[in-house]
Amino acid sequence: MNGTTALPRRSFGETMRADVWWTQPLLVFVGLSIFIVYSTWAAFQGQNYFFGNYISPFYSPEILGDSPHSWFGPKPNWWPHWLIFSPALLVLWAPGGFRVTCYYYRGAYYKAFWADPPACTVGEPRKSYWGERSFPLIMQNVHRYFLYLALFFLLVLAYDVWKALWFADGFGIGIGTIVLAINLVLLAGYTVGCHSLRHLAGGFLDQFSKSPTCYRAYTCVSCFNRRHMLWAWLSLFWVGFADLYVRLCAMGVWHDWRLL
């Protein structure tokens, strides 16, 4: 490949664009920052994460913990005193990793947090560029493994919705049930539209006609994939809200209305 000499490189933020190009990266920066701060705070609380038959999605599956939702009982005695314990910290890395390595979020946070570039045709702050070819960003290729974990988490969250239908006095539907069910639907929409799943479902094939099942799966995933950004933001907002709902109910600030 022959090289080419273009016009001089523009400095950081320099552009001839006449529109408000900074709006979108700013909104992404603010939106993701709020979520990161809130989810980190919530994960370290270690309390008020369940309310009766509801459990916060940040804490599910509760592998070890004090609530009745715990799979393997309370925190073990051998847990080092100096090591902070919260049931959320045992599980939150998996859905967190799925989002961090997600193709949509990658493009979004490279722009919003790293200005690489700040927006299309806007000057960058750095001359050097490694892309996703070398460490650390080459690790983004692990995305499909986080997908496998995310699919498992969907099953767990579906079970949480099932539990949210059963109150102490039997079957019922509360506002919390609906909040957790919407959370499941939005997270499923986001996960099922994953680019890696699209590839694994059938995108790896060159001849769909030889594998009709894979083609149907590919078409289905592609349908969700077309709105992947929308699913990503809706599910991000709602999973945070679901935690907040359960937390405020557990703290007695909000009352969970029974609809049925």
Partner 1 sequence: MATATFRIWRGDANGGEFHDYTAEVAEGMVVLDAVHDIQRTQAPDLACRWNCKAGKCGSCSAEVNGMPKLMCMTRLSELPLEKPVTIEPMKAFSTLKDLVTDVSWNFSVKKTIKPFKPRPPDAADGTWRMQQEDIDRVQEFRKCIECFLCQDVCHVLRDHQMHERFIGPRFLIHVAALEMHPLDTEDRIEELRNKQGIGYCNITKCCTKVCPENIEITDNGIIPLKERVVDDFYDPFGWIWRWLKKKSNS
Interface ranges with partner 1 (CB under 8 A): 1-7, 9-10, 15-19, 103-104, 106-107, 110-111, 116-117, 120-121, 123-124, 127, 129, 131-134, 137-138, 141-145, 195-196, 198-199, 203-204, 206-209, 215, 225-226, 228
Rounded least distance, CB 206 to partner 1, Å:
5
Which residue, 149 or 173, has its beta carbon nearer to partner 1?
149
Cα 257 from Cα 260, distance rounded (Å): 9
Other beta carbons within 10 angstroms of residue 3's beta carbon come to 4
Which residue, 197 or 249, has its beta carbon nearer to partner 1?
197
- Plot region of 176 (φ>0 → left; ψ -120 to 50 → alpha; else → beta): alpha
Rounded least distance, CB 2 to partner 1, Å:
5
Cα 178 from Cα 189, distance rounded (Å): 16
Which residue, 84 or 120, has its beta carbon nearer to partner 1?
120
Which residue, 32 or 43, has its beta carbon nearer to partner 1?
32
Q: Name the β-bridge partners of 171.
A: 166
Rounded least distance, CB 5 to partner 1, Å:
5
Which residue, 40 or 141, has its beta carbon nearer to partner 1?
141
Rounded least distance, CB 110 to partner 1, Å:
5
Cα 28 from Cα 215, distance rounded (Å): 34
Other beta carbons within 10 angstroms of residue 30's beta carbon come to 11
What torsion, rounded to 10 degrees, do the Cα atoms 77, 79, 83, 89 define?
A: -110
Rounded least distance, CB 51 to partner 1, Å:
38
Which residue, 110 or 254, has its beta carbon nearer to partner 1?
110
Rounded least distance, CB 33 to partner 1, Å:
20
Q: Name the β-bridge partners of 55.
A: 50
What torsion, rounded to 10 degrees, do the Cα atoms 11, 15, 113, 116 define?
A: -70
Cα 6 from Cα 58, distance rounded (Å): 49
